[in-house]
Amino acid sequence: MSDHNLNGKTALITGSTSGIGLAIAIALARAGARIVLHGQGDQQLHADALAQVDGAGAGDSQYFDVDLRDVSAIDGMMTRLDEAGGVDILVNNAGVQIIAPLAQATAQIWDTVLAVNLSAAFHTMRHALPKMAQNGYGRVINIASVHGLVASVNKAPYVASKFGLNGLSKAAALEYADAGTKARGGVTVNTICPGWTETALIEPQIQERAELHGGDREAGIKDMLSEKQPSQRISDVREIGALVLFLCSPLAHNMTGSSLSIDGGWSAQ
């Protein structure tokens, strides 16, 4: 396998019908991977995502509509993928953020955020990693957040889930560090921790800031960035796709247990 040749590899990306997940799926498809998309909701959104990924790659993409709060549904998805040959690359990207002060964060908010952002990654990893080890090649890339490195107010469940995802990834990285060989690529587990990235997840926060500037969206983004992100530049989802692609390369065989920031210096402060 050349540095960016993923022919013959199967990649599952959760939460991949838009935003960061879709950008990752397109990047891996262009490198030759067979893509398995995941999402819920709008069927037209799913169809559009499949069309984009098929257009970027081999055209044999697959899609699962699975509620990541349902462990049995995750088990069913992973079992079907195992029966079809297994997953070589697992990207746990699906996430939910509900902003509320700690005193107003209900048990339901906590359970939902932790289930989607953290527990779902645990359940996909426990299925995928043993077979990756048997094959001598595997990549788990968990999309955490700058909030897995530093905290913010009114986001306690989200911050807890992302700190937990970093910890889970480091523990799994240690367990599988000696699987495979340099030639085959080994098995690695890493997290990517984006700062402000232009996606639907942060759109409500952009709109809230824009309202403070007479509805000017660009002014709202600038206001938001000035608070935390020293570069004063918002990230593009394609930047994260490019980093995932590198982590899938054999050249990244010794990069494991890392939490990689794309945050414009936010977590360096």
Alpha helix ranges (H) inside 84-135: 107-114, 120-135
Tokens of 56: 């970027």
- CA angle (257 as vertex; 133, 154 as ends), nearest 5: 125
> What DSSP character marks residue 266?
G
Tokens of 128: 């995928």
Which residue in the list 63, 137, 158, 176 is annotated as catalytic?
A: 158
| Other beta carbons less than 10 A from residue 172's beta carbon | 22
Compute CA distances 66 → 17, 33, 108, 138, whole Å: 13, 21, 19, 23
**158 given a catalytic annotation:** yes
Helix (H) or strand (E) holding 215: none
Catalytically active residues are: 158
